[in-house]
Amino acid sequence: MTATTDLMPRKPASFRIDERVLDVIAKLAARSGVEPQRYLENYFFARGKELGLILPSAETLGETRGGKRQGAGRPKQQHEIDAHQPNHPMTKQP
Instruction: Write the pLDDT tens digit of every residue in 69-91.
Output: 566 666 767 766 666 666 655 55
Helix (H/G/I), strand (E/B), else coil: 54: strand
- The domain limits of the chain are 15-61
Look up the pTM and report it.
Answer: 0.57
Minimal CA–CA distance to 39: which of 51, 21, 20, 58? 21
Give buried/exposed letters for 26-47 (b at 16+ CB in 10 A, else e). Answer: eeebeeeeeeeeebeeeeebee
Task: Express each pLDDT in 6-46 by its tens digit.
Answer: 556 788 889 999 999 999 999 999 999 999 999 999 999 99
Residue 28 CA to residue 16 CA, distance in Å, equals 19
The beta strands (E) that lie in 1-94 are given as none
